[in-house]
Amino acid sequence: MILLGLDPGLGTTGWGLIAADGNRLSHLANGQIRTEPAMQLPRRLSLLFDALTDVIHTHRPDGAAVEEVLGNSNAQSTLKLGQARGVVLLAAATAGVAIGEYHPSIVKKAVVGTGGAEKRQVQAMVGHLLPGVKLTGPDAADALAVAITHAHHMASAKAMMRRVRD
C-alpha cells in the first residue's frame, strides 16, 4: 500500500510517500512545495493545489494522512495555515484518496514514543525507520512521520478487525 503523508503550510507544505507492507515500511519519495510570501493568497493556494495534484497523480497513493493544525497566538497565521490545510485536504479528496488526520502529538508519539518530541528527534527517527532516506527538508520529514503514523494506525486497525472476526 502506498501512503502519502502531508504536513500543510502556506509557505512550505511537506509531502512524503511510503510503501507499507504489514509492519514493513519503505521510503518512496519526499518533497516540499513552496509558495512565495509576496504572492496574493489565492494564487499561493492555487499553486499549492496544483502541485499537490501533480504529486498525487504521479504517485497514485492508496491513502493519505494530514497533520492537524495547532493554533498559535497569531490569529492571521493560524487562519492562513487552516486555509492551506483545507487545500491539502481538497487535493486528496478530489483525487478520491481516503484521508486520515492526526494531531501532531499523536504523530510524535507514534514515531518517537513521546508526544512532546522535538523536530530533531522526529527527523532522526524517520531516518531510522526509513533507512537510506534523503530528506528534502524538515517539512518533508514531518510529512513522512505523518505517513508512518497512518501506516501504524492502519496496521493496528486491520489486526483488530482480524481478532474481532476470529
Quick one: pLDDT at residue 114?
A: 86
- pLDDT tens sequence across 45-93: 999 999 999 999 999 999 999 999 876 778 888 899 999 999 999 999 9
Whether 7 has a binding-site annotation, put simply, is yes
**Grid coordinates given for 147:** 505517513
CATH number for the domain including 134?
Answer: 3.30.420.10
Q: What is the DSSP letter of 39?
A: S
**Confidence (pTM):** 0.92
Active site residues: 7, 67, 139
Cell of 78: 493560524
Q: How many domains does the chain have?
A: 1
Task: Give the domain range for residue 75.
Answer: 2-165
